[in-house]
Chains A and B, each alone.
Chain A
């Protein structure tokens, strides 16, 4: 028995060490770059230490019994089994501790819920499996998708520094201003999280949730979707670039100009080659997650497009399914997600790639007409 006791002691001792060194930065939560996240961090540390203290007392008594009151040491059992005063005492003391913890927690929560007086509103929409950021009142928006190459995921290439935490177009916000996020989703429930901001909020179809953030330091901050949203749930990161005000204004002007230019493109006369080139890009960022880069799909959930009746048959039916989606399936209505140019390009691409040689070409104007017919 003594051997067991020593072994137990060594083990429990070993267990206690990581609990204490939790404060070490590699194992612990990091303090963030917003006042909210710093308040959360201090709440977290307070409660952690309270738990450690309670643990030391309770386990201390327990281990003392384990070592001192062993039968093998000839300890005779006492026979007490009730004490109302003690029971009441150890009901009330934890209660008081809890009240003491609830007060700062309530204060922080009230602040987190105060989304009033925002200086910039951004609408965040979750899609399977990407984020859309729309700058409300600024008349432009864009999608943000994973930028890590498939080869790195499949271990054919060395993984980069920000493996799975990098996107093509990060969300850009100004430093020092209160930004309000309006979160919703297009298909299933997603959740938008950036640990350094202390902001995590679910994006739910049919609901608009509010959250706010005021970043104090410029930098790039990374997070992930935190609500299981299907196949590529682990592959839709959130990346936010916080920049100083003047830089933000320049960026804003550029984006607005680019959006304007995009609208003009709709009127331009396109050639098949131009549409194919643009369509391939759009296809790879928007469609390939389900229908696969080679158009073979993952039947039956995600049908193949290579040689499919829709991609090689009636053009109107093809436009209809891309623009309006197919209800009851994962096929979304892309009419509101993509520009007319991208819609035209991707349909053209699907009708001419992987041996689907219909030779059809769809122009942005046709898409516009198709949408207006409805």
Chain B
């Protein structure tokens, strides 16, 4: 259900991106006015982050973690139920703001005060309420994951024998519990500023607009890793499976994820290099940010070493996984460039940043989800999906994605700021290429819907272990996995 919901949100958020790219197809204002354009960028960001990527990972966790650790189901099913049904409520509220007087939130998904408080539209209060609800939902999902992993592991499965997907989700869940309350706190302060006359962020009342950014990014940076760590985990299953060779450096992978999670708490101000942080602070955050490249690098090297001298085959999950490693690494490189504070003065808030985080999130989070979905679809449905169609889906997504986001690097370096509905003439060519790529990527995703529906309806029956090189408890049970899979826990040696 999480997965269905998240795919619906993915299509909705995606269609907003189509509006954005359509407006940016040519210079001048053609389709929408700046007011509506800002609402689209804001809602696209919010829906993709909170509506598509996060629920998709929670969905994968709900399905796969019990199977992987030999548990009958998640530890707290009622809480699970509640945390899911909160999500449609939250997004109903959020989407309904589009139809309110004054329009939907229009201040970017980062909702910087005072643009979002003193100068925000009346619907901001509803937006705050929606954020609260989805925060509660995420926290409950995280508690459930932790409870399941710590209590329901099969006998003999020590922590350092857990599958990596389980490990990465355990760490992600702790990140969620640590930062979602911070997000709730910052939106509550906004609520007070808007409706109860406080001035947390209003300079004329003695408040501090920069405080908002500190608190927001203290949530926001770990949030980025919340959206990528579970994908790291899934990829760490897929690459060994199709390389027919065990994962290289399991222990170092676990430590690297831990290190990334810890570092993610002390780098938040790298989003704020231009707000006038004092020199010492600027240097600290620059060094800390550069440091993250080390554990991330270790992970990439380990994946490559796993493929090295394996026996490789390229079914759809592997294609997405390999694309993940390559494109995520490109996103990592641009991230490293952004970490260099003096250069960041030039890159900051330009399309270079847009290119960077789309390279991290689309091939990172989204390709990770696709790879995981194809990898485990036979286990879920009991049928094989259509390999030829899936490969088409991959190649069209891959080409469309690069066509859409690679030219954004050039646009940013040439000086195009982000979040503008109209641009100077020298940016016209690359914007057009980018829009064409985006339409292609967007349309391709309907193919995924078709593949999944056909796979659920029927298809070649899948054996218990459809992939030759796959390892793990989930492949020891028949496909589709029976309800309450492991009622007697399996023994792990």
**Do A and B come from the same complex?**
yes
Within 8 A of B (CB), among A233-257: 233-235
The answer to whether A71 and B311 have CB atoms under 8 Å apart is yes
A77 / chain B contacts, CB cutoff of 8 Å: 243-245, 309-311, 469
A162 / chain B contacts, CB cutoff of 8 Å: 424
A229 vs B420: C-alpha distance when bound (angstroms):
10
Q: Bits for A221-240, please: 1 = Cβ < 8 Å to B, else 0.
A: 00111111111111100000
The answer to whether B301 and A234 have CB atoms under 8 Å apart is no
- Stretch in A199-207, A261-269, A342-350 with 4+ CB within 8 Å of B: A199-207
Interface centre among A59, A205, A223 (most CB of B within 10 A): A205
Within 8 A of A (CB), among B221-250: 243-250
Q: Bits for B386-415, please: 1 = Cβ < 8 Å to A, else 0.
A: 000001000100110010001001100111
A165 vs B108: C-alpha distance when bound (angstroms):
23
Is A283 interfacial (CB-CB < 8 Å)? Answer: no
B346: which of A19, A198, A225, A301 is its contact (CB, 8 Å)? A198
Q: Bits for A87-124, please: 1 = Cβ < 8 Å to B, else 0.
A: 10011001100100110011011101100000000000
A69: which of B309, B329, B417 is its contact (CB, 8 Å)? B309
Is A195 interfacial (CB-CB < 8 Å)? Answer: yes
Interface centre among B102, B114, B310, B410 (most CB of A within 10 A): B310
The answer to whether B424 and A78 have CB atoms under 8 Å apart is no
The answer to whether A298 and B312 have CB atoms under 8 Å apart is no
The answer to whether A102 and B290 have CB atoms under 8 Å apart is yes
What distance in Å separates the Cβ of A12 from its nearest Cβ neighbour in chain B? 8
Is B209 interfacial (CB-CB < 8 Å)? Answer: yes
Q: Bits for B172-207, please: 1 = Cβ < 8 Å to A, else 0.
A: 000000000000000000000000000000011001
Is B300 interfacial (CB-CB < 8 Å)? Answer: yes
The answer to whether B35 and A200 have CB atoms under 8 Å apart is no
A345 vs B410: C-alpha distance when bound (angstroms):
46
Q: Bits for B292-323, please: 1 = Cβ < 8 Å to A, else 0.
A: 01100110110011111111111000000010
B304: which of A37, A65, A233 is its contact (CB, 8 Å)? A65
Is B135 interfacial (CB-CB < 8 Å)? Answer: no
Is B133 interfacial (CB-CB < 8 Å)? Answer: no
Interface centre among B208, B276, B342, B409 (most CB of A within 10 A): B342
Query: Which A residue's beta carbon lies closest to that of B107?
Result: A228
The answer to whether A70 and B311 have CB atoms under 8 Å apart is yes
What distance in Å separates the Cβ of B209 from its nearest Cβ neighbour in chain A? 6
Is B115 interfacial (CB-CB < 8 Å)? Answer: yes
The answer to whether B204 and A231 have CB atoms under 8 Å apart is no
Q: How many residues of B contact A (CB 8 A)?
A: 100
- Stretch in A148-156, A316-324, A356-364 with 4+ CB within 8 Å of B: A148-156
Known: A55-B333, A163-B425. A44 touches B346 (CB 8 A): yes
B420: which of A11, A198, A209, A234 is its contact (CB, 8 Å)? A234
Known: A70-B313, A153-B29, A153-B422. A112 touches B342 (CB 8 A): yes
The answer to whether B112 and A189 have CB atoms under 8 Å apart is yes
What distance in Å separates the Cβ of A203 from its nearest Cβ neighbour in chain B? 10
The answer to whether B417 and A224 have CB atoms under 8 Å apart is yes
Known: A209-B276, A233-B420. A155 touches B30 (CB 8 A): yes
A22 / chain B contacts, CB cutoff of 8 Å: 409-410, 413
A163: which of B27, B294, B312, B413 is its contact (CB, 8 Å)? B27
- Stretch in B88-96, B260-268, B281-289, B458-466 with 4+ CB within 8 Å of A: B281-289
What distance in Å separates the Cβ of B178 from its nearest Cβ neighbour in chain A? 26
The answer to whether B422 and A108 have CB atoms under 8 Å apart is no
A232 / chain B contacts, CB cutoff of 8 Å: 34
B209: which of A200, A206, A328 is its contact (CB, 8 Å)? A206
Is B118 interfacial (CB-CB < 8 Å)? Answer: yes
Mostly, the B contact residues are: helix
The answer to whether A47 and B337 have CB atoms under 8 Å apart is yes
What distance in Å separates the Cβ of A110 from its nearest Cβ neighbour in chain B? 7
A105 / chain B contacts, CB cutoff of 8 Å: 286, 340-343
The answer to whether A90 and B286 have CB atoms under 8 Å apart is no
Known: A1-B314, A69-B307. A189 touches B115 (CB 8 A): yes
Known: A82-B248, A109-B286, A112-B342. A98 touches B293 (CB 8 A): yes
Is B421 interfacial (CB-CB < 8 Å)? Answer: yes
The answer to whether B345 and A198 have CB atoms under 8 Å apart is yes
A248 vs B11: C-alpha distance when bound (angstroms):
56
15 extra interchain contacts, Cβ-Cβ under 8 A, other than A22-B410, A81-B247, A102-B290? A11-B398, A65-B310, A77-B245, A79-B246, A105-B286, A109-B279, A112-B345, A187-B114, A198-B342, A198-B345, A204-B275, A205-B204, A226-B349, A227-B349, A232-B34
Q: Please report A residues at the B interface, Cβ cutoff 8 Å.
A: 1, 4, 7-8, 11-12, 15, 18-19, 22, 26-30, 36-37, 39-40, 43-44, 47-48, 51, 54-55, 58-59, 61-62, 65-66, 69-72, 75-83, 86-87, 90-91, 94-95, 98, 101-102, 105-106, 108-110, 112-113, 128, 152-155, 159, 161-165, 187-189, 191, 193, 195, 198-202, 204-207, 209-210, 223-235, 298, 300-301, 328, 330
What are 22 A-B residue pairs whose CB atoms fall within 8 Å in the complex? A1-B313, A40-B342, A43-B340, A44-B343, A51-B337, A59-B326, A61-B304, A81-B306, A101-B290, A109-B283, A113-B279, A153-B28, A153-B422, A162-B424, A164-B422, A164-B424, A202-B274, A228-B115, A232-B34, A234-B417, A234-B421, A234-B422
